[in-house]
Amino acid sequence: MMAQYLALKQEAQDCLLFYRMGDFFELFFDDAKTASAVLDIALTSRGEHKGEKVPMCGVPVHSAENYLARLIKAGCRVAIAEQVESPEEARKRGGSKTLVKRDIVRFVTAGTLTEEALLEPRRANMLAAIIELRGMCGIASCDISTGKMELEECQPERLNAQLARIGASELIVPDSWLAEGTLVPEQAIGRDKQDFSSDGGEERLKKIHGVSTLDGFGAFTRPMLAAASGLIAYLDHVGRGTLPFLLPPTMRSGDTSLAMDEATRTSLEIVQSQQGGRQGSLLASVDRCVTGAGARQLAEDLSAPLIDLGAIDERLALVQYFHDDALLRSDLRDMMRSLPDIGRALGRIVAGRGSPRDLGQIRDGLEKGSRIHDRLSERDAAPVLLEHAMPLLNGHNSLIDLLSRALVASPPTERNQGGYIAEGYDASLDDLRSISGNARRAIAALESRYREETNVSSLKIKHNGVLGYFIEVPSRYGDVLMAADSDFTHRQTMANAMRFNSLHLHEEANRITEAGGRAIAAEEAHFEELTSAVVSKRQAIAETAAALARLDVAAGVAERAADSGWCRPTLSEDAVLDIQGGRHPVVEAALAKKGERFVANDCQLEPKDRLWLIGGPNMGGKSTFLRQNALIVLLAQAGCFVPATSANIGLVDRLFSRVGASDNLARGRSTFMVEMVETAAILAQATTRSFVILDEVGRGTSTYDGLALAWAVVEAVHEGNRSRCLFATHYHELARLAENCDSLSLHHVRAREWKGELVLLHELAKGPADRSYGLAVAKLAGVPAEVVARAKSVLERLEKGRAETGGIAAGLGDLPLFAASAAALEEQCDELRDKLKSIDVDALSPREALDVLYDLKREAES
């Protein structure tokens, strides 16, 4: 057995090997150590190998999916080794001690999951393959749970941006890339470069889809086809020759969606927050979808906003349609709440991993789609996208009828026990079930008869998987059944019971077994027939699933807009960005939970004022203002309503966000280096149609260096890129740029100091900021009073030195050290305290008390 295991383990390579032994999947050696640590299960040992105990652990087969989910989440890959013959077949093949043959039937990896228990319902599970060919990178991506597949190519320098958009759970690359360190993300899997053949990719796609040419799918380039070849070869490997469901590939062009680099996606927290979860992201704030498929479609929309005005307007028109008819929207969402995920059910069925429950989901989903079609047909003048969707929701009546007649109302997930074919669908199957049922009733009658004949009231007829049906009595009654003239045959003696057989029981058991086996075989044949019927309609079913997801997205966005007063944006080719009453959707939702109000602000960028320089205190709302306008642009071009009173947006081709401080120590990049790399990318790639938000450029280095860099960057954006840009800064000196930059406008976030406390108004006002309020913010953050006081004295010297000599460091030479300064402050506090103690408050007249108060104030200020 261990020789067989080790041979399979060599084939599994770096995957954990789930080795089937009876009702358990067992793991041995290092695999067992890894699995026991991840799953928190007992690590035992069994036998010896090379003189040492063999580490071992296992999980039950019936609950293996739960353990697989935890292993995959922990970054493991698993090979499933099943028994591919029965013990009887093994004995016939080589004798009574012949080992049952086992083989790896499937590799379970992060990007190739199809099971419901292993997938997140509201998140697509993408697998991607990439290759560089002829100076271009080919990318093939798919979600095998629904069959969706896309091919694209890009310049090598834009590869990371495209991979960030796809968000693949697993990435297939040539082995050489990993060896050379070209691309080493955690999810990268190396494969033989021979798998990445453009000719091979073309032939594989033709064979999968049964066509002689791919021209009907798109004008795919050689890099695209090479990437497709690598992807399909990997799917063939993990499926052990069984490919999953793949729809005809679509070609994605980089010119069809709003371009965003990885830093921008991370900064704007589009589909996940910077902490790595969905909570706190734009997607979580917008998502009101009632189906998993709708949520996945919304995530895709937000990840790849459109740049085609016509396509954007079609999406907005559908949202408007549901926004204006609250009753229709409510009815649609109520109908969709119970809609099964037919796209993923179809994926499992086509991949050969389907269950009776999946067939039931296809039936129920298509039937619900037909009802939705009828409800939507009640209104006239439908928008274009709805007109396109309507025919896709109908036309499955024959398949729905077949599945409705064939399946029980709630089919089980397992098919090996039968019971999922409805009564009345197959008369011969009904007869077999009747025979089995009659035999069971006969066994119950037989039990009653044996109790009377033996006078043993505790006699029972039981069943288990080893003995089948048997008679059991307590041990003290064993002699009664062991009598020579009895009809009972002894089978087994237990600690407290004895087990017997009888001729009549044997006959009835055979009738049950024979009828039950034939019934299960008949149901299995019907399952294959029903599966074939579904597979033959897979393209139409997938289109219905996509149409339902699009309707769910539109109705969900309309619901979000109606709840929060969002508006329909107007998009044009003009170089403007006019947003009135704009809000940050995530921040607004967070404040609403605390019962607080978000302060809305306007943003009006146009050719004469296309670059705003924004000053003001930290925590005043500068970063929020920058991000909210970027998110409004993104939402609008994704076809969503936006959190604003009104929005007139000139189409944006590329969106850039340089906000916040972060480092990348793994690549040897400090915080300032990351800031400069991202700034360099903006200056190199932004165009006149781009929208750029920049926050605190230059703050990561010395004052003079940072000011000089910020100054130069503002000039470059203004004169070179000529993009619409929001630039937040604390460098007051940059305000002088307005004298020479005609399209630069000065703004600030308002704040006031009231009775020594900083009041942040979160309002944007025109004109430069008067100061940064840095010390006030420090005090607000809880910095010790002595540190704030010390900083105040240093600031006074700095400002005095600058005013007198123009040098920042002037006047610092005689500045006392921190300890001396703190002692002076403490001494001053002690003098005031002594004076307060010496005052006889009860002896003071009101006038004298006021004079004393003024004296104390003058001393404190001095």
Backbone angles phi, psi at 745, to 5 degrees: -125, 135
Mean pLDDT of the region 367-389:
92
- List, for residues 52-77, the tens digit of each pLDDT value: 899 999 999 988 988 999 999 898 99
- Is 621 within any annotated ligand binding site? yes
596: its two tokens: 């607080």
What rounded mean pLDDT belongs to the chain? 88
Q: Could you give the percent of the chain with pLDDT greater than 90? A: 58
How far apart CA 597 and CA 589 sit, in angstroms, is: 9
Distances (CA, A) of 398 to 6, 404, 646: 51, 10, 48
How far apart CA 524 and CA 516 sit, in angstroms, is: 12
DSSP string across 367-401: HHHHHHHHHHTTSSS--HHHHHHHHHHS--HHHHH
How far apart CA 267 and CA 61 sit, in angstroms, is: 43
Q: Which residues, listed in sequence order, are joined to residue 656 by a DSSP beta bridge?
A: 692
How far apart CA 305 and CA 315 sit, in angstroms, is: 11
Q: Which of 329, 392, 259 has its CA nearest to residue 692?
A: 259
Tell whether the model's pLDDT for residue 28 goes beyond 60.
Answer: yes
pLDDT on residue 182: 66
Assigned CATH for 567-780: 3.40.50.300
pLDDT on residue 380: 78
Q: Which residue has the higher pLDDT, 478 or 859?
A: 478
Q: Which residue has the higher pLDDT, 231 or 795?
A: 231
Q: Which residue has the higher pLDDT, 580 or 858?
A: 580
- 748 close to 615: Cβ distance less than 8 angstroms: yes
Looking at the domain covering 2-108, what would its CATH class be?
alpha beta
How far apart CA 616 and CA 777 sit, in angstroms, is: 11
How far apart CA 110 and CA 460 sit, in angstroms, is: 49
DSSP string across 617-628: -TTSSHHHHHHH
Assigned CATH for 287-396+537-563: 1.10.1420.10
**Domain extents in the chain:** 2-108, 116-254, 287-396+537-563, 427-530, 567-780, 817-862
pLDDT on residue 321: 96
pLDDT on residue 461: 92
Distances (CA, A) of 682 to 160, 263, 700: 15, 11, 18
287-396+537-563 has the same fold as 2-108: no
Q: How confident is the model at residue 661 (pLDDT cuts 50, 70, 90)?
A: low
- 750 close to 616: Cβ distance less than 8 angstroms: yes
* Helices 356-376 and 397-406, axial angle in degrees (round to 10): 140
- Is 201 within any annotated ligand binding site? no
- Is 305 within any annotated ligand binding site? no
Residue type, 677: V
Tell whether the model's pLDDT for residue 795 goes beyond 90.
Answer: no
Q: Exposed, middle or buried by CB within 10 Å (0-12, 13-18, 19+), for 173?
A: buried
pLDDT on residue 801: 65
Mean pLDDT of the region 104-118:
90
pLDDT on residue 758: 67
pLDDT on residue 600: 95
Distances (CA, A) of 298 to 123, 556, 739: 10, 9, 45
- List, for residues 39-49, the tens digit of each pLDDT value: 999 999 988 88
pLDDT on residue 662: 60
Tell whether the model's pLDDT for residue 184 goes beyond 50.
Answer: yes
How far apart CA 629 and CA 693 sit, in angstroms, is: 9
Mean pLDDT of the region 615-638:
91
- Is 620 within any annotated ligand binding site? yes
Among 139-153, 606-620, 756-770, which is the least confidently predicted range? 756-770
Among 326-330, 377-381, 554-558, 749-753, which is the least confidently predicted range? 749-753
The H or E element that residue 78 is part of is strand 78-83
- List, for residues 304-359, the tens digit of each pLDDT value: 999 999 999 999 999 999 999 999 999 999 999 999 999 999 999 998 889 999 99
- List, for residues 122-180, the tens digit of each pLDDT value: 999 999 999 999 899 999 999 999 999 999 999 988 888 899 999 999 999 998 888 77
Q: Could you give the percent of the chain with pLDDT greater than 70? A: 92
Other Cβ atoms less than 10 A from the Cβ of 210: the count is: 6
DSSP 248: P
- List, for residues 472-524, the tens digit of each pLDDT value: 999 999 888 888 878 899 998 988 999 999 988 888 888 887 888 888 899 99
- Is 619 within any annotated ligand binding site? yes
- List, for residues 694-708, the tens digit of each pLDDT value: 998 877 776 778 888
Q: Which of 479, 457, 461, 478 has its CA nearest to residue 470?
A: 461
- Is 66 within any annotated ligand binding site? no
How far apart CA 146 and CA 348 sit, in angstroms, is: 8
Among 19-33, 94-108, 767-781, which is the least confidently predicted range? 767-781
Tell whether the model's pLDDT for residue 262 goes beyond 60.
Answer: yes
How far, in whole angstroms, is CA 729 from its chain's centroid? 34
pLDDT on residue 810: 46
700: its two tokens: 């990561």
Mean pLDDT of the region 85-96:
80
Q: Which residue has the higher pLDDT, 578 or 681?
A: 578
Assigned CATH for 116-254: 3.30.420.110
Query: Which residues, other chains included, contact 516 with Cβ-Cβ below 8 Å and sequence gap of 6+?
Result: 418, 432, 436
Tell whether the model's pLDDT for residue 293 goes beyond 60.
Answer: yes
Q: Exposed, middle or buried by CB within 10 Å (0-12, 13-18, 19+), for 268?
A: buried
Tell whether the model's pLDDT for residue 272 goes beyond 60.
Answer: yes
How far apart CA 520 and CA 710 sit, in angstroms, is: 75
Query: Which residues, other chains included, contact 432 with Cβ-Cβ below 8 Å and sequence gap of 6+?
Result: 515, 516, 518, 519, 522
DSSP 491: E
- Is 239 within any annotated ligand binding site? no
- 587 close to 621: Cβ distance less than 8 angstroms: no
Mean pLDDT of the region 825-835:
59
CATH 1.50.10.10 for domain 427-530: no
Mean pLDDT of the region 395-421:
93
Between vectors from CA 269 to CA 268 and to CA 271, what angle results, nearest 5°? 130
How far apart CA 746 and CA 740 sit, in angstroms, is: 13
pLDDT on residue 770: 65
